[in-house]
Structure 1
Amino acid sequence: MSWLWISLAIVYSGSIVFLMINWSALPEKVPAHFNAAGEVDRFGPKVEMIILPIAGAFVAGLMQWIERFPEKHNYPQRLNENNVKEFYLVSRKMMNRLKNICLLFFALSSFEIITIAQGLENPLGNWLFPALIVSVAIVIVYGIIKQVKIR
């Protein structure tokens, strides 16, 4: 386990604790969806807040499981016995980074929704979703570049 994975697991767990601590202070209707500009465009019952930690755990668990089986990932035809370990390592690292980004996104989304629901200023601004897209794109492009360099 890497220090990053442990740190993100703590942040993710902290977001669940934050939700539990603030549960009684949440109004009956909380932000449930944001548009592309980062503005709330749908409110829903606060029980929907439970979906975020469950979805985050499911996605992280699924990606962790997929990461353990690099032989099942998709590779170019030039994969052979001489470069298979390099391809597997690059693919596992890419999956690990994507999993970490997802955990962070779910934690920050929960924090953002709770603070907005309590009438506080949006602490994260409107950058959360664009940052997610850019982060995922960077990880994927970096992984592809690393795979292209494998001979």
Structure 2
Amino acid sequence: MKVEKSKGDKLADIFCILLLISQMLYVLVSWGKFPDTIPAHYNAVGEIDRWGGKGEILIEPALSCLLYLFLRVAERYPQIWNTGVTVTEANRERVYGVLQHLLSTMKAETVFIFTVLTIKTVSGTALSVWFFPITMGMLFGSLFFWIWKLVKVK
């Protein structure tokens, strides 16, 4: 079943594409200015705990694109998802619509997080101590919100 995207879902896709393009352009344009070693990993409080070669910066845009594409493919096949809700003819469109919103939200948040990580890595600075709790709160908060909306569809 093909689920029609809402305006918000379409805007989330545009936001993701713009961020992905910006992320890649930022890396390409800044490549010559990178030091030979850049932050390669951050711990839970945002401190740099591993340094790597500047080629490792390519991992973040690549992961961002892969996760976006994975979620984009998952959007097209909502019937394969285990929703925890019995999907009937009467509620199918609403259930799949909520799943569409959930995936659009997850795509936008994931691409945004990886874009911030790319910028921080290129600048060679530590993350804020609040980065991890805020990003986890954002991801799990929206996930719980859409699951709550899904359960209400019953």
TM-score, normalization: structure 1? Answer: 0.88
Q: For residue 70 of structure 1, what is the aligned residue in structure 2?
A: 78
Number of residues of Structure 1 aligned to a counterpart in Structure 2: 146
Q: For residue 111 of structure 2, what is the aligned residue in structure 1?
A: 103
Determine if the alignment matches structure 1 residue 129 to structure 2 residue 137: no
Task: List alignment gaps of at least 5 residues for structure 1.
Answer: none
Per-residue CA distance 1:93-126 (angstroms, 9 max, x = gap):
101110111111111110011112xxxx65x633
Task: List alignment gaps of at least 5 residues for structure 2.
Answer: 1-8
- Using the aligned pairs only, state the percent identity: 24
Q: For residue 90 of structure 2, what is the aligned residue in structure 1?
A: 82
Q: For residue 35 of structure 1, what is the aligned residue in structure 2?
A: 43
**Structure showing greater relative contact order (alpha-carbon pairs closer than 8 Å, 6 or more residues apart):** 2
Per-residue CA distance 1:67-90 (angstroms, 9 max, x = gap):
111111112353222111111111
Distance of 1:113 and 1:23 partners within structure 2: 12
Q: Does 81-90 or 36-45 show the bigger shift?
A: 81-90
Distance of 2:130 and 2:16 partners within structure 1: 19
Distance of 1:99 and 1:7 partners within structure 2: 10
Q: For residue 139 of structure 1, what is the aligned residue in structure 2?
A: 142
Runs of 4+ in 1 over 3 A off after TM superposition: none
Name the amino acid aligned to 2:147.
Answer: I
Name the amino acid aligned to 2:132.
Answer: F
The answer as to whether partners of 2:68 and 2:111 remain within 8 angstroms in 1 is: yes
Question: 1:149 offset after TM fit, Å?
Answer: 1.0
Q: For residue 55 of structure 1, what is the aligned residue in structure 2?
A: 63
Determine if the alignment matches structure 1 residue 9 to structure 2 residue 17: yes
Report the secondary structure of 1:85's partner residue: helix
Name the amino acid aligned to 1:95.
Answer: L
1:129 and 1:77, CA in 2 relative to 1: closer, same or farther beyond 3 A? Answer: closer
Q: For residue 44 of structure 1, what is the aligned residue in structure 2?
A: 52
Name the amino acid aligned to 1:98.
Answer: M
Distance of 1:69 and 1:55 partners within structure 2: 22
Alignment RMSD, CA only?
1.6
Distance of 2:113 and 2:105 partners within structure 1: 12
Name the amino acid aligned to 2:144.
Answer: V
Question: 1:139 offset after TM fit, Å?
Answer: 1.3
The answer as to whether partners of 2:16 and 2:107 remain within 8 angstroms in 1 is: no
TM-score, normalization: structure 2? Answer: 0.87
Report the secondary structure of 2:140's partner residue: helix
